[in-house]
């Protein structure tokens, strides 16, 4: 009898617990519009100066804002004012940039402010934000954005490297708040790409009160001016919940668009943001992300090549079964280039143009695209990807066409008929399964003309070290755009930046000066002829991102809106 | 055994932690400072330049004499002040504490259920030794051991969470009882993964005991097979059972890496994985040191528990 009572009590407790949990999980009638997104990697805190990877950028841009932004519906990319009231005035010597800020922009309501009410954004907040970026004690890994570019900023940083405290009250000649709404940057030398830096998260406005109130934990208590706010954030969490910022200024959906985005103008002029809440699930593994998406627990997802792409895409189109369900597929080129670098300092390649050209033509680009990108990538004709000013859609690189016969002929002319006499070449790749598979594909392509390739895998620092010391024969690299200027790619051909730079041969004094926008086309042509002649770079593809929207959420049926929610509304 | 002698035994055994930690720290120092690549290149990535690398090295204290750096690791091992994570800038100690609590919510139920099921099944197999039920269980456990944990995870998540909708696909909520729906499926998978090897181990232990003289004597005295099994065999097999149980705990806590990653549970496994992915050396160092410490502590607990279950064992 006693045992029966015990069992009964246990059953009642378990039942109550079960009902409690179920009631908490029961879907509430949706009064608010919620966007359910997913991040493929851990979010490492939301302090603008510490943001490094794309996943964290996606989250930080929901909360923080910068002076300038991109017009997301225009191509090539176009800069537009964001927290600035207009585009800056620039002095004739291209050194002084003066911004006027929007008035009435408020920081999020937060306990760090008196009475918890967010105060108005001023030019001093940007001065403070740039000083934080350069603060030697904070060691922001994004300092390169302003390194040696703003007058007096490097000197200020240098002064405090060994000091106990950094003095933020000290004036910096190149970084001045003229009045409450006027901000002036003075550069050390002309640098038109500076405006692009201002669109990047590390240059976004932060409130001094928030930094001081939260101290080292500031990165977990983001306080910005953006459309969404987050109460508290823990980098260990697997979910971030954002609520609409009730004091967000009047911002409207764009009313102009490039031809390919004209269909998105149905929402032109509507007030942003469109959703009340965003929930970001952080899931590093693919299967749970995909299952959550199929279950309707995630609205938008990017499709990876390895597994689910096979279940979703055929010939770059959504499979009919998913089309019937009302799902939508969006494909967009990533502004980046995936390529293999010949080390021209190596005696084998240095004066042997024909060898490089033979290898370039033996590379089966179309098959590579199909195997690794489901045919969704674009075969690169130059190092410059589409979407940037200077990109020429009509340009066809004569050495980028897969032609095995010609490749064999060139190899013979290079002095190595059918690869005879040519030593085994090494291709250095970074250690990961995709890089290895791509390397093996290259190996197979070269085998077809008799060239033997040995694949060497390296951890990233090791690969960088080898590139810097010109210790590779061939190495595989992907470069993704940091700002939409051809300079960001062409600096790889002459600059010191690794990977892919000319390394030890780089002579700063002889390097190209910073490019002006109008030079871009000329430089592109210059680069084109450089590549046609020397084939230093064997371009492969511009990879793509594929998005796929969820048909299960009624207000997200229009996939194009979903993309915009991810980009225009949030950024 | 008197309380004082037990106390002095524990103190003596715990003092072994000192040379162990000195050795572990040396190993960590060697691996991270000599074998591994320059962390500043990893941290600065494609924008690494010699000047900023030097500044970062200075800020992280990597330009100090190697012996000072080694002493720093040693100090952190004894004070448990591991500083801040390079990736998230959080204090490592509270971060690991939170991760441990989360892992415990998953590991404790899985560990308890596995242990009870494994011991019961092993007793059953031993009771029916040589018969069909025993042979069937042996085959089943071998099959369970042969299947990769990934298969359990992928299949379980797809069938039970997605297709049948019985459990959450992934995620975690802090606080009791909110976390329960999120840990049921991963805990069940942990049970299945560990059950096979545990049943095999305990079955061997029970069978070893069953051929001892005291068992023959008990049977000769006319005790029933059930009484022999539960009153004598089980009691005498407690020493190896406890060894296996207690020494497994640290491995359970840190060994749920894949399960936590697939189910989005922010526990110690996830912290370890993220630290490795981000080359977050201070966190990796802290986890390595804490693992070494916990192995020593749990081995002492095992020894002490021996004396409680078997009065013949004296600690000296």
Q: What is the pLDDT of residues A409-465, one digit of tens each?
A: 999 999 999 999 999 999 999 888 888 999 999 999 999 999 999 999 987 767 877
Distance from the B253 Cα atom to the nearest Cα atom in chain A, whole angstroms: 17
Are A292 and A372 contained in the same domain? no
Range of the domain at A56: 10-261
Whether residue A176 is contained in a domain is answered as: yes
According to the model, what pLDDT value does residue A131 have? 97
Domain check: are A423 and A564 in the same one?
Answer: no
Same domain, A42 and A145: yes
Q: Does B99 touch chain A (CB under 8 A)?
A: yes
pLDDT at residue A242, rounded to an integer: 93
> Is residue A529 located within the same domain as residue A560?
no
Indicate the pairing of strand A317-318 with strand A313-314. Answer: antiparallel
Considering only CB atoms, which chain B residues are within 8 Å of A26?
none
Give yes or no: residues A341 and A325 share one domain: no
pTM for the full model? 0.79
Sign of CA dihedral A401, A405, A406, A408: positive
Pick the more confident residue, A564 or A401.
Answer: A401
Q: Is A15 exposed, middle or buried (0-12, 13-18, 19+ CB in 10 A)?
A: exposed
- Give the model confidence (pLDDT) of B202-258 as tens digits: 999 999 888 888 888 888 888 888 888 888 888 888 888 888 888 888 778 777 888
Cis before residue B221, ω within 30 degrees of 0? Answer: no
Domain check: are A175 and A308 in the same one? no
Residue A527 has pLDDT above 60, yes or no: no
Which residue of A lies nearest to B160 if distances are taken between CA atoms? A291
**Contact check, Cβ <8 Å, A44/B88:** yes
**In this predicted structure, which of A196-205, A482-491, A547-556 has the lowest mean pLDDT?**
A547-556
A46 located within any domain:
yes
CB A103 within 8 A of CB A84: no
Point out the least confidently predicted range of A181-190, A219-228, A481-490, A504-513. Answer: A504-513
CATH number at residue A346: 3.10.105.10
Q: Which of B12, B206, B58 is nearest to B126 (CA)?
A: B206
Interface probe with A: pick from B46, B91, B156, B161, most Cβ of A within 10 Å:
B46
More confident residue, B310 or B300: B300
Answer yes or no: do B172 and A219 touch at CB < 8 A.
no
3-state SS, one letter per residue, for A74-88: CCCCCEEECCECCCC
Q: Which residues contact B251 (CB under 8 A, 6 or more apart)?
A: none
* Nearest CA distance, A213 vs chain B (angstrom): 16
Cα–Cα distance list, B70 to A350, B29, B39, B92 (Å)? 46, 6, 16, 18
Does A563 lie in the same domain as A496?
Answer: no
Looking at the fold, whether A230 and A100 belong to one and the same domain comes out as yes
- If asked whether residues A363 and A254 sit together in one domain, one would say no
- How many domains is chain A partitioned into structurally? 3
A417 shares a domain with A550: no
Task: Output the average pLDDT for chain A.
Answer: 79
Q: Taking CB atoms and an 8 Å limit, are B37 and A461 in contact across chains?
A: yes
Helices (H) and strands (E) in chain A, counts: 18, 21
CA distance A210 to chain B (A): 17
Start-to-end C-alpha separation, chain A: 66
ipTM of the complex as predicted: 0.82
How far lies A194's CA from each of A94, A514, B216, in Å? 11, 10, 88
Residue A81 sits in the same domain as residue A140: yes
pLDDT band at A529 (very low <50, low <70, confident <90, very high): very low
Percent of chain A, pLDDT > 90? 36
Interface residue A295 vs chain B (CB under 8 A):
yes
Same structural domain, A255 and A311: no
Two structure tokens written together for A418: 């059918």
Please answer yes or no on whether A219 and B271 come within 8 Å at the CB atom. Answer: no
A229, A261, A293 — which closes off a domain?
A261
**CA–CA dist B126, B115 (Å, integer):** 16
- Residue A98's CATH number: 3.40.190.10
Judge whether A221 lies within some domain: yes
Chain A contact present for B17, CB below 8 A: no
Interface of A with B in 443-462 (CB under 8 A): 459-462
A126 within a domain of the structure (yes/no) = yes
Size of interface A-B (CB pairs under 8 A): 128
Q: Which of A244-253, A264-273, A328-337 is predicted most confidently?
A: A244-253
Best A44, A134, A160, A307 residue to mutate vs chain B (most B CBs within 10 Å): A44
Residue in A147, A295, A464 nearest the CB of B162? A295
Q: Which position has the token pair 């594909």?
A: A441
Residue B95 near chain A (CB below 8 Å): yes
């Amino acid at each position: 009898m006693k045992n029966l009572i015990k069992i009964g009590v246990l059953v009642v407790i378990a039942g109550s617990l079960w009902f409690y949990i179920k009631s908490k999980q029961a879907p509430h009638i949706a009064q608010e519009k919620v966007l359910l997104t997913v991040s493929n990697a851990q979010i490492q805190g939301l302090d603008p100066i510490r943001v490094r990877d794309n996943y964290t950028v996606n989250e930080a841009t929901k909360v923080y804002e910068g002076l300038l932004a991109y017009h997301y519906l225009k191509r090539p990319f176009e800069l537009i004012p964001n927290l600035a009231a207009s585009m800056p005035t620039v002095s004739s010597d291209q050194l002084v940039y003066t911004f006027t800020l929007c008035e009435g922009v408020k920081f999020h309501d937060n306990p760090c402010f008196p009475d918890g009410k967010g105060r108005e954004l001023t030019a001093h907040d940007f001065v403070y934000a740039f000083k934080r970026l350069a603060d030697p004690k904070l060691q922001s890994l994004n300092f390169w954005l302003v390194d040696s570019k703003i007058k007096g900023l490097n000197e200020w940083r240098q002064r405090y490297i060994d000091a106990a405290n950094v003095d933020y009250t000290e004036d910096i000649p190149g970084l001045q708040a003229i009045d409450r709404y006027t901000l002036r940057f003075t550069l050390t030398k002309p640098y038109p790409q500076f405006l692009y830096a201002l669109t990047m998260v590390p240059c976004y406005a932060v409130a001094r009160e928030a930094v001081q109130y939260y101290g080292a934990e500031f990165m977990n208590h983001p306080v910005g001016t953006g459309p969404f706010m987050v109460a508290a954030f823990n980098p260990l969490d697997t979910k971030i919940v954002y609520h609409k910022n009730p004091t967000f200024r009047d911002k409207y959906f764009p009313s102009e668009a490039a031809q390919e985005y004209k269909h998105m103008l149905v929402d032109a002029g509507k007030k942003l943001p469109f959703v009340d809440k965003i929930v970001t699930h952080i899931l590093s593994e693919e299967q749970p992300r995909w299952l959550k998406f199929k279950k309707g627990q995630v609205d938008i997802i990017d499709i990876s090549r390895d597994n689910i792409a096979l279940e979703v895409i055929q010939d770059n189109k959504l499979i009919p079964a998913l089309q019937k369900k009302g799902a939508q597929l969006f494909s967009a080129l990533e502004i980046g280039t995936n390529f293999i670098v010949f080390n021209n300092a190596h005696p084998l390649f240095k004066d042997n143009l024909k060898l490089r050209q033979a290898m370039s033509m033996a590379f089966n680009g179309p098959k590579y695209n199909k195997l690794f990108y489901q045919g969704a990538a674009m075969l690169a004709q130059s190092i410059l990807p589409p979407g940037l000013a200077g990109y020429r859609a009509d340009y066809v690189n004569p050495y980028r066409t897969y032609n095995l016969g010609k490749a064999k002929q060139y190899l013979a002319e290079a002095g190595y008929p059918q690869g005879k006499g040519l030593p085994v070449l090494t291709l250095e790749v970074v250690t990961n399964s995709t890089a290895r598979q791509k390397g093996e594909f290259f190996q197979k392509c070269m085998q077809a003309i008799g060239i033997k390739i040995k694949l060497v895998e390296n951890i990233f620092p090791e690969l960088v070290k080898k590139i810097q010391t010109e210790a590779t024969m061939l190495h595989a690299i992907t470069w993704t755009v940091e700002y939409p200027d051809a300079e960001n790619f062409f600096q790889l051909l002459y600059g010191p930046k690794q990977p892919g730079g000319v390394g030890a041969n780089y002579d700063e004094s002889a390097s190209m000066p910073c490019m002006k926008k109008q030079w871009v086309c000329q430089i592109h042509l210059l680069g084109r002829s450089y590549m046609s002649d020397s084939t230093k770079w064997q371009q492969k593809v511009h990879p793509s991102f594929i998005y796929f929207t969820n048909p299960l959420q009624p207000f997200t049926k229009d996939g194009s809106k979903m993309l915009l929610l991810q980009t225009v509304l949030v950024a | 055994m008197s309380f004082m002698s037990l106390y002095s035994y524990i103190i003596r055994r715990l003092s072994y932690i000192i040379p162990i930690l000195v050795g572990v720290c040396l190993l960590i120092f060697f691996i991270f400072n000599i074998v591994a690549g320059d962390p500043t290149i990893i941290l600065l990535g494609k924008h690494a330049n010699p000047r900023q690398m030097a500044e970062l090295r200075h800020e992280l204290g990597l330009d100090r004499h190697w012996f000072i750096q080694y002493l720093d690791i040693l100090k952190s091992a004894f004070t448990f002040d591991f500083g801040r994570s390079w990736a998230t800038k959080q204090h490592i100690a509270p971060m690991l504490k939170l991760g441990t609590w989360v892992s415990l919510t998953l590991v404790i139920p899985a560990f308890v259920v596995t242990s009870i099921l494994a011991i019961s099944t092993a007793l059953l197999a031993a009771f029916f030794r040589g018969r069909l039920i025993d042979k069937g269980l042996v085959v089943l456990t071998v099959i369970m051991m042969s299947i990769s944990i990934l298969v359990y995870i992928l299949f379980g998540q797809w069938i039970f969470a997605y297709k049948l909708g019985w459990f959450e696909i992934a995620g975690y909520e802090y606080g009791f009882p909110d976390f329960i729906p999120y840990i049921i499926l991963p805990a069940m998978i942990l049970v299945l993964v560990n059950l096979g090897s545990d049943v095999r181990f305990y079955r061997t232990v029970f069978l070893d005991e069953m051929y001892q003289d005291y068992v023959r004597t008990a049977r000769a005295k006319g005790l029933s097979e059930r009484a022999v099994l539960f009153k004598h065999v089980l009691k005498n097999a407690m020493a190896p059972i406890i060894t296996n149980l207690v020494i497994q705990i640290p491995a359970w806590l840190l060994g749920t890496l894949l399960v936590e990653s697939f189910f989005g549970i922010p526990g110690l496994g996830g912290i370890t994985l993220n630290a490795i992915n981000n080359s977050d050396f201070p966190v990796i160092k802290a986890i390595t040191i804490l693992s070494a410490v916990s192995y020593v502590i749990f081995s002492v607990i095992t020894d002490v528990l021996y004396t409680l279950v078997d009065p013949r064992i004296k600690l000296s």
